[in-house]
Amino acid sequence: MNVDKKEIENFDNHAHEWWNSRGPYKMLHKLNPHRLKFITDRIELDGLSVLDIGCGGGLLSEEMTKKGAKVTGIDASRKTISVAKKHAEESKLKIDYQCTTLDQYIKKSKKRFDCIICFELIEHVPSPKKLLEEINALSNNNSSLFLSTINRNLQSFIFAKILAEYFLKIIPIGTHKYEKFVKPSELSDNLDILKYSVEEIVGLIFNPLILDFEFSSSTNINYFLYAKKNKK
C-alpha cells in the first residue's frame, strides 16, 4: 500500500479545517482557482469522467463538478472524506467520494477515466513511481493527466519547507518532507516509460506583494504537469 500512515494522521488532525479559508489550508484555497485554470485552459471538463486522487476536503472536486465533470474523489483519510461528503451534500453537488487508497480502488473498480488529477499528493507518498503506475492502470487509452508537486533542490527546500512552514507559517509544520520532493525530469522519465506524452510543464510562484500565486516559466519550486496517454 503506497501510503504513509504518518501523513494520513497529519491530514486527519486538520480534517475539520478544510473549508476554513483562513485556517491551515488557506494556501490551498488561494491555489485552487489556479489549479482549476490549469486544467480548463487545456481541456473541456463537461461530460468527462474525472478521478481526483487525494481529493482532500473536495476543494477542486467541487469546482470541476460545477464545470460538468463526473467526478470521483478518493482520499485515504476517513475524516477528510467525511468532510468532503458533507460539504458536497450541503452544496447540492453529486460527487462520488470514497475513502480508499489507490491500490484498493484498482482492485474493486473496473472503471477507467477520461481525466486523472493528482495535485499536491506525489510528495506525500513513499513511491512516486508506483503512484504513476497505479494512475496508468485507471487511465483510458486517451486519458489526460494533470499533476502538481514540488521540485527537489536547494531553493525549494528553503522556500517550500523552511520559510513556508517555520517562518511564514502559511502551511502546518510537518506538511512536507524535502526528500519526497520530485524533480520534473523524474516525473517525465517515469511517464515516458508508461507511454504518456508530456505536453506541458508550468511553474508556480507565490507573490508576497499580492499574497497570491502566479504561473511562471520557472519550475524551481512548485510546478504543474500536463500529459496525455498515448493510444495503444
Q: Please give the chain's pLDDT, 232 residues, in tens.
A: 666 677 677 777 778 899 999 998 888 999 999 999 999 999 999 999 999 999 999 999 999 999 999 999 999 999 999 999 999 999 999 999 999 999 999 999 999 999 999 999 999 999 999 999 999 999 999 999 999 999 999 999 999 999 888 988 878 888 889 999 999 999 999 999 999 999 999 999 988 888 889 999 999 999 999 999 986 5
Cell of 184: 520534473
What angle is formed at CA 6 by the lines to CA 155 and CA 106, rounded to 5 degrees?
Answer: 95
As a whole number of angstroms, the distance between CA 145 and CA 149 comes to 13
Q: How many domains does the structure of the chain reveal?
A: 1
In three-state secondary structure terms, 130 is helix
Among 76, 64, 70, smallest CA distance to 103 is for 76
Question: Where do the H-state alpha helices sit in 98-151?
Answer: 102-108, 128-137
Query: What is the predicted pLDDT for the residue at 231?
Result: 65
Query: What is the predicted pLDDT for the residue at 80?
Result: 95
Ramachandran bin of 69, using left for φ above 0, alpha for ψ from -120 to 50, beta for the remaining angles: beta
Q: Which strands, in side-by-side order, build the sheet including 113-119? A: 96-99, 70-75, 49-53, 113-119, 139-150, 222-229, 196-207, 212-216
C-beta separation of 213 from 159 below 8 A: no
How many beta carbons lie within 10 A of that of residue 156, not counting itself? 22
Domain that holds residue 90: 5-229
Query: What is the predicted pLDDT for the residue at 165?
Result: 86
Say what the pTM is: 0.92
C-beta separation of 93 from 65 below 8 A: yes
Residue 130: which CATH number? Answer: 3.40.50.150
Query: What is the predicted pLDDT for the residue at 232?
Result: 56
In three-state secondary structure terms, 212 is strand
Cell of 191: 511517464
